[in-house]
Structure 1
Amino acid sequence: MQIIRSMRALGISALLFATLASPLAAQTDWPNRTVRFVVPSNAGGSPDRVTRLLAERLSKRWGQPTIVENKAGATSIIGTDFVAKSPADGYTLLSTFTSFVQVPALFKRVPYDTERDLVAVTQTVAVDVLFLVRADSPYKTLQDFVAAAKTAKPPLSYGSFGNGSSFHIYGEKLAQSMGIDLTHVPYKGELPSTSDLLGGQLSSSFASVGTALPFLKEGRLRPLGVASTKRSPVVPNVPTLAELGVNMPDVVGWFGVLAPAGTPAHVIQKVAADIREILTQPDVVQTLRDQGLEPIASSPEAFQSRLQGDLAQWKKLLPEVGITPAE
Structure 2
Amino acid sequence: MMQRRTLLLAASGLLAAPAVHAQAAWPARGSIRLIAQFPPGGLVDTVSRLMAPFMSSALGQTVLVENRAGAGGVIGTDFVAKAPADGYTLLVSHASVHVFAAATLPAMPFDPVADFTHIAHLVEAPNVLLVRAASPIQTLAQYIETARRQPVRYGSSGIGSAPHMLGAMLAGESNAANLDHVPYRGSAPALQDLMANQIESFIDPITTNVAMMRDGTLRALAVSSPQRLPAFPNLPTFAELGYGRLTSAQWLGLSAPKGLPAPITERLAALVPDILKQPALMERFSDLQTLPRNPPPVGAEFVKVIEEDRAAWTAVARRFNIVAS
Return the alpha-carbon distance in structure 2 between the equivalents of residues 104 and 291 of structure 1.
27
Return the alpha-carbon distance in structure 1 between the equivalents of residues 248 and 237 of structure 2.
13
Q: In structure 2, what residue type is equivalent to 1:96?
A: S
Return the alpha-carbon distance in structure 1 between the equivalents of residues 292 and 111 of structure 2.
28
User: C-alpha root-mean-square deviation of aligned residues, in Å?
Assistant: 2.3
Q: In structure 1, what residue type is equivalent to 2:264?
A: V
Return the alpha-carbon distance in structure 2 between the equivalents of residues 169 and 14 of structure 1.
57
Residues 1:198 and 2:195 aligned together: yes
Task: Decide which moves more: 191-200 or 33-42.
Answer: 191-200
**Any conservation in 2 of the 1:127–1:208 contact (CA below 8 Å)?**
yes
Q: In structure 1, what residue type is equivalent to 2:75?
A: I
Counterpart residue number, 1:57:
54
Q: In structure 2, what residue type is equivalent to 1:182?
A: L
- The CA deviation at 1:22 is 2.8
Aligned counterpart for 1:131 among listed residues 129, 132, 138:
129
Aligned counterpart for 1:168 among listed residues 150, 157, 164:
164
Residues 53-95 of structure 1: per-residue CA shift (max 9 Å, x gap): 1111212332322111222232221111111111111211111
Counterpart residue number, 1:73:
70
Q: Which has the larger radius of gyration?
A: 1
**Any conservation in 1 of the 2:10–2:16 contact (CA below 8 Å)?**
no
Counterpart residue number, 2:153:
157
- The CA deviation at 1:301 is 2.0
Inter-CA distance 298–102: structure 2 relative to 1 (3 Å threshold): same
Counterpart residue number, 1:5:
none
Task: Decide which moves more: 251-260 or 12-21.
Answer: 12-21
Return the alpha-carbon distance in structure 2 between the equivalents of residues 14 and 313 of structure 1.
50
- Secondary structure (helix, strand or coil) at the match of 2:33 reads strand
Task: Decide which moves more: 217-226 or 280-289.
Answer: 280-289
Q: In structure 2, what residue type is equivalent to 1:176?
A: G
Counterpart residue number, 1:145:
143
Residues 1:306 and 2:305 aligned together: yes
Aligned counterpart for 1:177 among listed residues 169, 173, 176:
173
- Secondary structure (helix, strand or coil) at the match of 1:303 reads helix
Counterpart residue number, 2:240:
243
Q: In structure 1, what residue type is equivalent to 2:121?
A: Q
- The CA deviation at 1:138 is 0.8
Task: Decide which moves more: 244-253 or 56-65.
Answer: 244-253
Return the alpha-carbon distance in structure 1 between the equivalents of residues 37 and 279 of structure 2.
28
- The CA deviation at 1:326 is 4.7
Aligned residues: 315
Return the alpha-carbon distance in structure 2 between the equivalents of residues 202 and 101 of structure 1.
27
**Any conservation in 2 of the 1:131–1:204 contact (CA below 8 Å)?**
yes
Equivalences for residues 1-12 of structure 1 within 5 A = none
Aligned counterpart for 1:266 among listed residues 263, 266, 273:
263
Residues 1:115 and 2:116 aligned together: no
Counterpart residue number, 2:90:
93
- The CA deviation at 1:164 is 1.0
TM superposition outliers: structure 1 runs of 4+ over 6 Å: 12-15
- The CA deviation at 1:38 is 1.3
Inter-CA distance 21–315: structure 2 relative to 1 (3 Å threshold): same
Q: In structure 2, what residue type is equivalent to 1:302?
A: E
**Any conservation in 1 of the 2:48–2:92 contact (CA below 8 Å)?**
yes
Return the alpha-carbon distance in structure 1 between the equivalents of residues 271 and 198 of structure 2.
42
- Secondary structure (helix, strand or coil) at the match of 1:163 reads coil
**Any conservation in 2 of the 1:173–1:247 contact (CA below 8 Å)?**
no
